[in-house]
Structure 1
C-alpha cells in the first residue's frame, strides 16, 4: 500500500511540474491555402502578411524588393528581411493590418521573430493565354533554412517552405 501511495505522489508531482506557465506553446505553424496580402497592390509593398483566424505571418521586405520584371532577388533573415509569427486574442482580418491607427482589438497575445533564414523572390510575368497580353506579375516567395523557435526551444516551422505568391498589376 505504501508503494502505491509513493508512486501516486510521484506521478502527481510530475504532472504538476509538467503544467504550462501561460507561455506561448506553439508546436507547428500552418498557413496552407492562405493568400499573401499587402495593404497596397503594387511593387511598393514592404509589408506582406498571411493570416489564419487568430494567427499571422508577417514578412517585411527591403524597399525595391519587388519589381514588375522577370528576375530573382533574395537576402537573409534578419539582416535584409524580417519574419514574425503573431497570435491574437481573436480572429484578425485585412483591416487589422491596413488600418492607419492600429486597432486595440484583437490584442496581440504573442509574437516570435525569426532569427535566421534565406528569402528568395522569383518574379514572373503572367500573360493571357488567348491574347498574349500581359495580365500581372507573380512574385513567388520562398524561405529556406528558416529558424523560428518557440519558448520551449523547439523549431515550429518547416525550414524550407513557400511563403506564397504576391501578385501585382502590370
Structure 2
C-alpha cells in the first residue's frame, strides 16, 4: 500500500512540474473599440493599463469586401507585428502614436507575437435612401482574428488557436454623382456620356439605333449586358469627350475608380428604359432611366435605386 501511495505522490509531482513556469494569462479586449494612429500604420486597443496593437501596412486594408470564407491573410513577421503591453497606470494613444511616446505610465510587461496568422474579413458599410431604395458605400468594417498566434512573454510562450482582436472601421467618401442629367452622344462613337468634373457616367449601347428612334408611343427597354454596358468612372482631374476620342488615351488624368453595372434580369433588374417625346419639328427628346441597377467594383456593390434618371438626350 505504501508503495502505491508513493507512486501516486511521485506522479502528482511530475504532473505539476510538467507545467514548468508556464502561466496562462488572460487578455481580453473584445469590448474595446480599435483605433488607428494618424501618422503611422498602427491599429491599437487600450483598456485601463493594458494595450494590444498591430503594426501592419495600411494597404492591407483594401477598400473592398472579402468573399465568404476567403479572408485576407497575412503572416505575423517583421512587417506585420502584434504586441501586448501592461503598464503601471492607465494608458492612451499618447503611449503609442507619437514619434516619442509618453514616458509615463511605466511599462511593466511586454509580449511579442512570434508566429501566427492575421485574418481580416472586410464588409462594406452602406447608407440607404428609404425613398428610392438606393444605397451608397460609406466605409468598411474589418473583423480581425489571430489564428495560431504565439506570444513570447516573460514567463514563457503562450499560444492561442483563435484570438479575436475585433473590428476596425474606416470611412470612405461616397461617390458624388454630381451630374446634371443632360447627356451627350460621343463625337467618335455611339456611347452616351454624362460628365461632371472627374466623374463620367457612360452608356455603351450596341442597341443605340433601336433605342433612340422617333417612336413616341411606348418606352423601349434593354437589359444591361455584355453588349449594352453601363459604367461609372472617377478620374484624378476633369474629363471631356476628347479624352476618349484621342487616338492614344492621355496619361493624365488617371483613372482612380471604375464601377460597372451588373447584367440585368428580364423584368427584374438592370433595365435601361428610353422614352421619346417630340421637342420641335426637327428634334426629339429622349429620357433615359435606369431601373434597379447595381454597380460593382471588385466584390463591393451598391444600388442606384428603383428608378434612376440617367439623363436626357436631344437628337435630330
TM range (shorter): 0.7 to 0.9
State which of 234, 255, 269 in structure 2 corresponds to 1:87.
234
Q: Distance in 2 between matches of 1:46 and 1:89?
A: 25
Q: Distance in 2 between matches of 1:120 and 1:37?
A: 17
For residues 50-107 of structure 1, the C-alpha deviation after alignment (integer angstroms, 9 at most, x for no partner) is 1211121111112412123324211111255210111112111232133344323222
1:123 matched to 2:276? The reply is yes
Map of 2:204 onto structure 1: 60
* Post-superposition offset of 1:108: 1.9
Greater RCO (Cα-Cα under 8 Å, separation 6 or more): 1
Q: Is the 8 A contact 2:179 2:196 kept in 1?
A: no
Q: Is the 8 A contact 2:183 2:193 kept in 1?
A: yes
Q: Residues 87 and 28 of structure 1: is their aligned pair in 2 closer, same or farther, counting only changes over 3 Å?
A: closer
Map of 2:216 onto structure 1: 70
1:99 matched to 2:140? The reply is no
SS of residue paired to 1:57 = strand
* Post-superposition offset of 1:160: 2.0
When the two structures are superposed, what TM-score results if normalisation uses the length of structure 2? 0.42
Asked which structure has the greater CA Rg, the reply is: 2
Q: Distance in 1 between matches of 2:59 and 2:248?
A: 40
State which of 62, 70, 89 in structure 2 corresponds to 1:21.
62
Map of 1:131 onto structure 2: none
SS of residue paired to 2:221 = strand
Q: CA RMSD in A?
A: 3.3
Q: Could you list the runs of 5+ residues in structure 1 that have no partner in the other structure?
A: 128-133
1:144 matched to 2:188? The reply is no
Q: Is the 8 A contact 2:216 2:277 kept in 1?
A: yes
Map of 2:167 onto structure 1: none
* Post-superposition offset of 1:151: 4.5
Q: Distance in 1 between matches of 2:222 and 2:202?
A: 16
